[in-house]
């Protein structure tokens, strides 16, 4: 399963969510940059919404989500997708012609809640439109405030993984996996510039790992100064990681 490891432009779209997917709003920071509304008369956003609401699209994305979650929690055999909980456009969609129903260009982050044997987890899916078929990949699960681009560049991810490897002694990279992330606390308010890009702020989040089959938790502190991010990762006691899991239970 492909899991992708500061996007210039995003737009948050409102899509109808099934009742089962409606969760208590997270206090996790939104660090993606929000762009102005689409130009008047531009129907591409509406066409994207229509495409993302089709059963075919949902089937393709949910297959990736369920496959990825099975890799993270193979012991759970009853995982199910509850529904969409977020949809953020990172690059405006483009269509090949007026009759096309599938975008040929564009990027968006689709977020789905799943029930992992009684624990609700959010999966973040990065979709890149292409002329043939969209390319779908998984970002980190949960509430992490790291942007899609940060994750793909390994920013923050490398620090958290390094702390997990050091604390666990697990030397097989394939056996060190993030099973969930949870926002912990805002330490400094996020301050954007005139274009909406986050220039300063600080927060802490807790990452749950499975390292060589054993549970482990890491606290990641993210600091942004002048638009540049720095990270500090420290292992947490196992009991703290257990509490973080318990906090996601319904």
Average pLDDT, the chain: 85
Reported as a single tens digit per residue, the pLDDT across 127-174 is 999 988 899 999 999 999 999 999 999 999 999 999 999 999 998 988
- Give the dihedral sign, CA 198/24/124/173: positive
For residue 112, what are its two tokens?
A: 């789905």
Output phi, psi for 94, to 5 deg: -130, 145
Count Cβ atoms within 10 A of the Cβ of residue 17 and give its class: 0-12 exposed, 13-18 middle, 19 or more buried. middle
What is the domain partition of the chain in residue ranges?
11-138, 154-246
Count Cβ atoms within 10 A of the Cβ of residue 173 and give its class: 0-12 exposed, 13-18 middle, 19 or more buried. exposed
pLDDT for the residue numbered 172: 93
Which alpha helices (DSSP H) does the chain contain, by range?
A: 44-52, 55-72, 148-153, 157-168, 238-246
Q: What share of the chain is helix, strand, coil (3-state, %, to 5)?
A: 25, 40, 35
Question: The whole model's pTM is what?
Answer: 0.83
pLDDT for the residue numbered 194: 85
């Amino acid at each position: 399963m492909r899991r992708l490891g500061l996007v210039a432009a995003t737009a948050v779209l409102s899509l109808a969510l099934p009742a089962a997917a409606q969760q208590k709003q997270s206090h996790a920071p939104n660090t993606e940059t929000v762009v102005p509304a689409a130009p008047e008369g531009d129907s591409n956003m509406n066409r994207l919404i229509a495409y993302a609401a089709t059963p075919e699209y949902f089937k393709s994305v949910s297959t990736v989500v369920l496959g990825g979650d099975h890799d993270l929690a193979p012991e759970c055999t009853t995982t199910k997708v509850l529904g969409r909980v977020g949809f953020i456009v990172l690059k405006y969609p483009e269509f090949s012609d007026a009759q096309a129903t599938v975008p040929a260009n564009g990027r968006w982050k689709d977020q789905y809640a799943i029930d992992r044997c009684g624990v609700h987890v959010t999966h973040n899916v990065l979709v890149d439109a292409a002329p043939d078929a969209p390319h779908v990949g998984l970002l980190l699960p949960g509430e992490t405030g790291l942007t899609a681009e940060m994750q793909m560049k390994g920013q923050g991810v490398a620090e958290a993984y390094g702390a997990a490897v050091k604390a666990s002694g697990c030397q097989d990279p394939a056996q060190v996996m993030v099973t969930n992330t949870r926002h912990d606390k805002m330490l400094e308010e996020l301050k954007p510039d005139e274009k909406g890009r986050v220039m300063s702020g600080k927060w802490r989040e807790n990452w749950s790992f499975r390292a060589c089959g054993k549970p482990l938790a890491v606290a990641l502190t993210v600091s942004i100064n002048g638009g540049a991010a720095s990270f500090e990762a420290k292992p947490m006691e196992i009991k703290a990681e257990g509490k973080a899991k318990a906090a996601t239970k319904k």
